[in-house]
Amino acid sequence: MLKNRIIPCLDVKNGRVVKGINFVDLQDAGDPVEQAKIYSDGGADEICFLDITASNENRDTIYDVVEKTSKKCFVPLTVGGGVRSIEDINKLLNCGADKVSINTAAVQNPEAVVESSKKFGSQCIVVAIDAKKKEDKWEIFTHGGRNNTGIDAIEFAKKMEDSGAGELLVTSMDRDGTQVGYDIELMSKISSMVNIPVIASGGVGNLDHLVDGIELGNASAVLAASIFHYGKHSIKEAKEYLDLKGIPVRI
């Protein structure tokens, strides 16, 4: 039976791990390579790096981080943030990333998803959807949550599936950093709309939120940052808790 995945996410800036509250107010919290190794040794099903301010800054440091991590961690590694071109994807994959998540570029130029999934295979193209609720719909944000595009997130999710995305990483901008739980409605709407796996992200504050993401949000995988990163819970604890709740996980 296919297991639900738990994916710790490390926000990386200038080669160091940070995790902000609603994308601002950053706190430095460690070396990404060592952190990733701790997670993979602890049973993380995948590791995710998000190069958070990459759209604006020199991002060469991430390549070095990816290269070092991929020589130490033998679980899938996804890297996102500031991925704009086929060349960026190629470089990240060559450094040892297994998947690349595309956000702004996928919105600005959906053809980039078609092209990259053809060139590298759908299995390594994750489209990251950052969405914020507005009345009865969700709108897509880009540039690390700074720009509102007005695009409907549910329709966009379907479009990305048709364009060749292998997975969707769905983040609720309303919930990110708040620790009040995933936007379950958003997750389940997108998950029922598409036939590719959905990774739920944004808002995890406790282990029940992970359970909800899978059971109520119908996500195939749950992504979280701060509950793991600040040592509130280990990956092992999270898996044991999900197992206790009857959710299939790899233990």
Residues that bind other proteins in the complex, under the rule CB under 8 A: 1-5, 40, 45, 70-71, 74-76, 93-98, 120-124, 166-167, 195-197, 220-221, 250
Is residue 165 classed exposed, middle or buried when 0-12, 13-18 and 19+ CB atoms within 10 A define those classes? buried
CB nearer to other proteins: give 133 or 245.
245
Instruction: Count other Cβ atoms within 10 Å, centred on residue 109.
Output: 14
CB nearer to other proteins: give 69 or 226.
69
Residue 55 CB, nearest distance to other proteins (Å)?
24
Residue 233 CB, nearest distance to other proteins (Å)?
20
CB nearer to other proteins: give 93 or 151.
93
Report d(CA 72, CA 40) in Å as an integer.
Answer: 9
Residue 162 CB, nearest distance to other proteins (Å)?
14
Residue 250 CB, nearest distance to other proteins (Å)?
4
Catalytic site residues?
11, 130
- Six token digits for residue 112: 């980039």
**Could you tell me whether strands 125-134 and 137-142 are parallel, antiparallel, or unpaired per DSSP bridges?**
antiparallel
Q: How far is CA 88 from CA 30, 54, 63, 132, 143, in A?
A: 25, 12, 10, 27, 16
CB nearer to other proteins: give 134 or 250.
250
Report d(CA 73, CA 62) in Å as an integer.
Answer: 16
Report d(CA 153, CA 181) in Å as an integer.
Answer: 19
